[in-house]
Amino acid sequence: MHSPSPPRGGLLSLSLWALACLGSVASAQNLTPLSDYSVIVSGNFSTNSDVEGRTLVGGNLTSSSSANFGIRLQNKVPKTDLVLRVQGNIASGNPLQLNAGSLELGGTSNGRRINYNGGGSLISNPNADYSGIFNDLNAASQSLSNLSANSKGMLIANSPGQPGPFKMTAAPDSNGLAVFSLSASDIFGNNKVQQIELITNNAADILINVAGAVINWTAGNIVGDLTQDQWSKRVIWNFYEATDINFGSKNMQGQVLAPNASVTTSGVIDGSIYAKNLTTTSEVHLPSYDGNIVVPEPSSALLSLLGATALLLRRKRNA
C-alpha cells in the first residue's frame, strides 16, 4: 500500500504516523460493497439508461433524462430495500423508474417524479453518509495495487509492430489468485490490439492492476472467458492511478475499481463499478462481485513499529 512517508518529528509524530498507516490498511479489508451495488460513486452519477442492481451515490444524481434502477431486482427484494441511495440531490427532469425497493435521499428531488414500480417509497435521510464505504474501497484499491504480479499479459503478434490479440495468461498462486500488473497504454491505448483475451488456467480469482492516470480505450474488444458471467463476477480491474477514464463504446467485463477517476462510457459494463464520478449512456449489468480476493492486512513490520513507538512513549512518560 502507498503509505505516507514517516515524519521527521519526535516519537509522538512517529506513533501517530504508524497509527494512521495501520488504520488506513486495516480499513481496506472490505470489498463487499461491490457485491451489494452495481454502481457506487463517491461524487456524481449521470445516466439515461439502466442499472440492473443497486446504486449508491455520494454526490448528486445529475442527469435530467429518464433512467431505470434495480431492473433485475424486481420481485426479488423487499419494498423497504434501499435500491437507490443518493446522499446529495436529484436533478429535475424526466421521471425515474425505481423497479424494486425504495429511494434513500439526503438532499432534495427538485420535484422529480420517481415511479416506485416495486412498491417502495421515498425515505428522506438528511444525515446520509456513505464515506465509510468509500474509504474501504479507496484503501482496498491502493492495497491491492501493491500485490506482486504472478501473471503476464502481452500483445501477441506474428511479427514486431503488427496487430494481434492482447492475451493475459493467468498463473494463479496456491490460493488460486492470479495478479496482473499492466500499463493502460499497452492494453487500452494501443491501436495494435485487436482483442483482449484472458486465459484463466483454473484460477479462482483474477486481479488486474492497471497503471495510468488518463485512460482512453481506443482499440480491441474483450473476448473469450471474460465475457462469461462466471468470470465477470471474479475479475477485478483496479485502475488505482486513474483520474480520467473513457471506455468509449467498448463493453467492460468485470468489476471496476477506479476510486479517483471520472469515468465516461457509452458501452455496457458487465459487473459493478466504483468511481469518483460516472457518466454513462448505456447499461450497468449484473453480476456483481462474487470473488474471494483477500485484501492484504497490516504488515508485521508496521505492527512492530507501532508497538515499539508505543513502548518508547510509555517509557518516556514514566521517566
Q: Give the pLDDT confidence score for residue 228 in this predicted structure.
A: 92
- Backbone Cα Rg of the chain: 22
Strand (E) positions, 228-309? 235-238, 244-248, 252-253, 255-265, 269-270, 273-280, 284-285
Q: Give the pLDDT confidence score for residue 304 in this predicted structure.
A: 46
Q: Give the pLDDT confidence score for residue 217 in this predicted structure.
A: 97
What is the overall mean pLDDT for the chain?
88
Q: How many whole angstroms separate alpha carbon 190 and alpha carbon 108?
A: 44
Q: Grid coordinates representing 200?
A: 484463466
- On whether the CB atoms of residues 54 and 33 are closer than 8 A, the answer is no
Cα 30 to chain center, whole Å? 12
Q: Grid coordinates representing 273?
A: 463499478
Q: Grid coordinates representing 39?
A: 454502481
Convert the pLDDT of each residue in 1-32 to its tens digit: 334 444 445 555 544 444 444 443 433 347 99
Q: Which residue has the cell 495501520?
A: 22
Convert the pLDDT of each residue in 120-165 to its tens digit: 999 999 999 999 999 999 999 999 999 999 999 999 987 778 899 9
The dihedral region occupied by 222, where left means phi > 0, alpha psi between -120 and 50, and beta the remainder, is beta
Q: How many whole angstroms separate alpha carbon 103 and alpha carbon 121?
A: 6
Residues 6+ apart with CB under 8 A from 25: 1, 3, 139, 143, 296, 297, 298, 299, 302
- The one-character DSSP state at 308 is H
Instruction: Give 172's Cβ-side CA count (13 Å radius).
Output: 16
- Once rounded to an integer, what is the mean pLDDT over residues 162-188? 96
Q: What is the dihedral of CA 206, 210, 214, 217, to 10 degrees?
A: -50
Q: How many whole angstroms separate alpha carbon 114 and alpha carbon 96?
A: 5
E strand or H helix that includes residue 16: helix 11-26
Q: What is the dihedral of CA 39, 43, 48, 50, to 10 degrees?
A: 10
Q: Give the pLDDT confidence score for residue 319 in this predicted structure.
A: 53
Q: From residue 119, how far is each of 56, 78, 83, 84 by CA, in Å?
A: 19, 9, 12, 13
Convert the pLDDT of each residue in 242-278 to its tens digit: 999 999 999 999 999 999 999 999 999 999 999 999 9
- Once rounded to an integer, what is the mean pLDDT over residues 184-208? 96
Q: Grid coordinates representing 164?
A: 494481434
E strand or H helix that includes residue 36: helix 33-36
Q: Note the pTM of the prediction, 2 decimals.
A: 0.85
Q: Give the pLDDT confidence score for residue 10 in this predicted structure.
A: 54
- On whether the CB atoms of residues 223 and 196 are closer than 8 A, the answer is yes
Closest CA to 110 of 87, 135, 86, 91: 91
Q: How many whole angstroms separate alpha carbon 45 and alpha carbon 42?
A: 9
Q: Give the pLDDT confidence score for residue 116 in this predicted structure.
A: 98
Is residue 241 over pLDDT 80?
yes
Q: Grid coordinates representing 103?
A: 429511494
